[in-house]
A and B are shown apart, each in its own frame.
Chain A
Amino acid sequence: MGIQAWTWIIVGVTFAAYIYIGYISRVSSTKGFYVAGQGVPAIANGAATAADWMSAASFISMAGLISFMGYDGVVYLMGWTGGYVLLALLLAPFLRKFGQYTVPDFVGARYYSKTARVVAAVAAIFVSFTYVAGQMAGVGVAFGRFLEIPFEMGVGIGMVIVAFFAVLGGMKGITYTQVAQYCVLIFAYTVPAIAIALVLTGNPVPQIAIEEILPKLDAIQRDLGLTAYSSPFSNLSMLNVFCITLCLMAGTAGLPHVIVRFYTVKSVKAARWSAFWALLFIGILYTTAPAVAMFAKYYMLNQFAELGPDIVNQSWVQNWAATGLIQIPEGGIQTADQFLAAVNRDIIVLATPEIANLPNVVVALVAAGGLAAALSTASGLLLVISSSLAHDIYGSVINPEATEKRRLFVGRMMIFLAVVLAGFLGIYPLGFVAEVVAFAFGLAAASFFPIIVLGIFWKRANKEGAIAGMSIGLAFTFIMIALMRAQNVIPGMDEPVIDSFMGINAQGIGVIGMLLNFAITVGVSMATSAPPASVQDLVEEVRYPQASSDEDV
C-alpha cells in the first residue's frame, strides 16, 4: 500500500479513538469542565501534560532545527525540559494546594485585586491565542502533505475534531484524549528512530546509538569543510545560548496552559508526581530528538559525500522539491553549504524515514503523530482561552451572580468561538502573530513566572509590586522584541531598529524582562504597605499540603 492509503487508515483510526474518548468523558459541571473534577490520576495527568506540551513544533520542527544547529540545539532541548524542574519545585504543588480553576484565579486572590486578575487573564488569552494559531496551521500542513487535501479543509477537519471533544468534555475530555494522543505521538516518534538506530549501528536504543554516529558525523562535516557537529557556539554566542535556554525554561514554567494541568490532579502529592511523570514522558521524546537530528544529518551528508551534485536526482529530494520544501538553486548544488541551505528544516522528521527507506506504514505513522501533537496542544490552549474568558472575565467581573448552568454554557460557547477563531487565524495568519508565537516564552517568562514564584515564597510581595513588575517586565520584553524584529512587526520598517540588547537577541531577551520584573516587584513591594493579614495567611496555607489546625505542633 502507498503512503497515502496508510495515512488515511492510521489517521482515521486514531481520530475515531479521540472522538470516542471525548464522548465517554463528557461532563456536566463547571468543576469537571475546567479542572476535570480534580480527579485525574498523576500518571494520566503526566501523559496529558506531555501531550499538551509537545506541539507540532516539538514533533515536526525541533529535530530539524537541532540537526542544523548542532550543539547549539541545547537551547531547545534543555530550555523545554529544564523548565519542568522550576515548575515542579516552585509552582505546581503550591498552586494545586491553592486549588482554584485558573492561573488568573491565583493572581487575583494572592494580589487581592480584580485588576491584577483581569490583566493576568488578558495575558493568558494573548499568549494562548498566538500559540494556538500555529497549531491549527500545523494541522493544515500535515493534512495537506500526506492526504493531499487543500490546506483550508485540513484546518477545518482539525477544528471540528477539537471542537467536538473540547466543547463536550471540557478539561476531562481533553485530558483523556491527550493521554491517547501522547501514546500515538511517542510511538510515532520513537519507532522510526529505533529502526534507523538499528540499521545504522545494530543497537536499537537511539540514545546509545549516537555514541557511534557522532564521531562519524563530526568527521564527515570536517571533510566537507563544515564545523564539527558537536562543536559549541557555531551559530549562537555563549551569552545567547545561556539567555535563550534560561528564557525558555522560565517561560515553560510560566505558560498558563502548562500550569493549569496541575490543578486537575487529586492532591498536592499527585501534583508533584504528575510533574515527574510529565517530565519523564517528555524526556523520552527530547532525548530521542537529538538522535534523530544526528541520524538525519548523517544520512544526508553521507549521500552528498557519495553523490556530490548528483544528489538532486535522489527520489526523496525530488519529492520534497515538488512541494517547495527543498529549493534547488539554479546551477544545481555544488557544495555542502548549498545543499544544507536548500533543505527546509521542517522536513527532517517527516523525510528521515523516507531517506532511510523505512516502510510506508512508518511514514504514515509519523503523519498521524504530528497530527496528534498539534491537536492535543491546540485543545489544551483552547481550554485556557475559554476559562480565562468565561471564568475569570465573565464569571468574576461581568456577571458574578451567574448560575452553575449558565457558567458552563458560557464556557462551552467560549471554547466553540475560540476554536473557530483559532481556525481562521491558522488559515489567514497575521504576520505579527507568527512572529510573536516564537516569543510567547519570553513574554510568559517576563510576566507570570516572577510574580507567581514571589507570590508563593515571599509573603511581603503586594499588589502594587506585582502589577508594576508584571506590566514593566511585559512591556520591556514586548518593545525589545518589536524593535529587534521591526521588519516583521512594525509596518513600514524593513530592517531591525536595534540588533541586540547588550549582545542578547530577541529570543533570549525575556530573561532581562524577567529580572526586571523580579527587581521591580520586590522594590515596589518594599516601598508600599504589606499585603493584608488574610493574604499572608493564604500564602502560609499553600505551603502545607494539609490544612492547618490549632492542634498542630
Chain B
Amino acid sequence: MDLKDKLVSSFLAFENNVDVDHPVHDIRSEAIKNFELKGFPDKKQEAWKYTSLNALKKIDFSIFPKQIDALEYKDVKRYFLHEIDTYKIVFIDGVYSSFLSETTHDGVDICLMSAALSKPMYKQIIDVYFNKVASKEESLTTLNTAFSKEGAYIYIPKNKVPKKPIEILHFATGNEATLLLQPRNLIIAEENAELQIIERHQSLTSNEILTNSVTEIFAAKNAIVDYYKVQNDLKNASLIDNTYISQKGSSTVKVHTFSFGGKLTRNNLNYYQNGEYIDSTMKGVTILGEKQHVDHHTLVHHREPNCESHQDYKGIYGEKSVGVFNGKIIVDKIAQKTNAFQQNNNILISDKATINTKPQLEIFADDVKCSHGCTIGQLDEEALFYLQTRGIPKKEAAALLMYAFANNVLESVRIPELKMRINKLIANKLGVQLGFDL
C-alpha cells in the first residue's frame, strides 16, 4: 500500500480516538476528502518542481506510535535554550511530555492543542480561529488538518505579554522504525499582545522521521510576534513546515528560519495582510552540506494599503546540497503604497551544489515600491586576499567570510541568548575556529 492509501485508510482508526461530535471533526472530514482527491504533490506542479517527495512516499511510515518513551532532561537539555528561563511545550514522538514542559494559564494560555480541542472554555476561540488561515486546498496542509489533534495552543489576550519566550520542541526517539508526525499549532496574539516563540524539531535517531507540521498565527491590531524556527535536524529527518499568518492593522510578525540540517526540509511560509501599516518580515539563513535539501517557499499577500514586507534569505551550499528559494509577492489593486522587499543571496562552495531561486511578483497596484534581488556567487577574492594578508590562512579566511555573509541576517534576532546560539551553530557548521567566543 502506498503512503497516501495508508493515510486515507488510517483516518477511520484515527476517528476512534477523537471526539467526532466536535465541530472541528467536520473540518477534518472535509480535509481528508481533499487529500484523498489530490494526494501528495509531485514535480509536475510548479510549486514542487525542484523538490521531490518520491523517496519519502516510498517509506512505510508508522502513523500512530505504539510505545511512549520518556526522555531525561539532561539528555536533551542542549536542544533547549537553557541559558534562559522559557515556557516549554514538549512532545516526544508526537505525544505531549508534561515532565519536560512548562505551560501556563496565568493570564495567558500556553498549553496544548488537545486541551483546546476538548475543553468547552476554548470552544469559542477554536470556532473563530481554527483552520481559518490554513489552506483548504493545499494537499499537505489538508493532510495535517485531517489528523490534527495535538500541538501547541497559545493564546495571548489583549495587552498581555508572556513573562518569557515560549519553546515548542518535538523530539523523535526512534522507538518506531519509521515515524510520521503531524503537529498542529494555533497561535493567537490579541490587540497589543506580544510574544516570542522558538520552534525546533529534533530527531534523536537514525530512523526515518517525517514531520508535516501546520502552524496558524493570528496577529491582531498592534500585536508583535517573533517566531524563530531552528532546523538543525539529523540526516534522516525530514520536515514539511506549513505556516500561515493572518495579520491585522499595525501588527508585526517576524519569522526567522535557520536551516542547517535535516534531510529534506520544505518551508511554506504564507503571510496574509488584513489591515493597514502591517510589517511582515521573513529572514532565513541556510547552510547545507552532504545531500541536504532545503526549499523555502514564501508568499506575502498584500491586501490593504500602506503595508510593508521584508524578505532576506541567505544560503551557503556545499557538497551535493540543493537549495530552493521561491518568493511570491501579490499586491492587490487596493494595496497602494505597499513597500515589498525581497532579497535572496547565495554562495555555492562546491561544483556539485545547486540553488534554484525565483522571485514571483504579481503587482496590481500602481503606487508601490517593490524590489527583489537574487545573487548566486562564490566568495569575494579581494576579501579573501585581505584576510590572508593579515595572516589568516585561506581556509579559515573563507570560513570567516561565509560566517560574516550569513551573520548579518541575525541582527533582527531579539533574544540575545538565541542569537549567540545561532552564531555558534553557524560557526560550527562552517568549521570556523576563530579562537574567540562568538
Q: Do A and B bind each other?
A: no
